[in-house]
Structure 1
């Protein structure tokens, strides 16, 4: 999932550099959403690992 967030970020940067503002904004938004979903899964996984050991 982090891979796809980085892919959309790169697409947003390239589209922004070429002047495609709408595509850049959409790609950046998707990348941001995927990144926060990844962070949520990371926190859930860490908490689950801590509770298993206890």
Structure 2
């Protein structure tokens, strides 16, 4: 036994995660626009041959 216990349940953890993203858009928005093209989400522009 490690003695580890979750501090949040699913609902409160999800709510806190969503709140963090809403409150910190200035941090994560530039990341989405810089390196990652979104190809795994189907958001990337098709590459021309």
TM-score (norm 2): 0.35
**Greater RCO, CA 8 A, separation 6+:** 1
TM-score (norm 1): 0.32
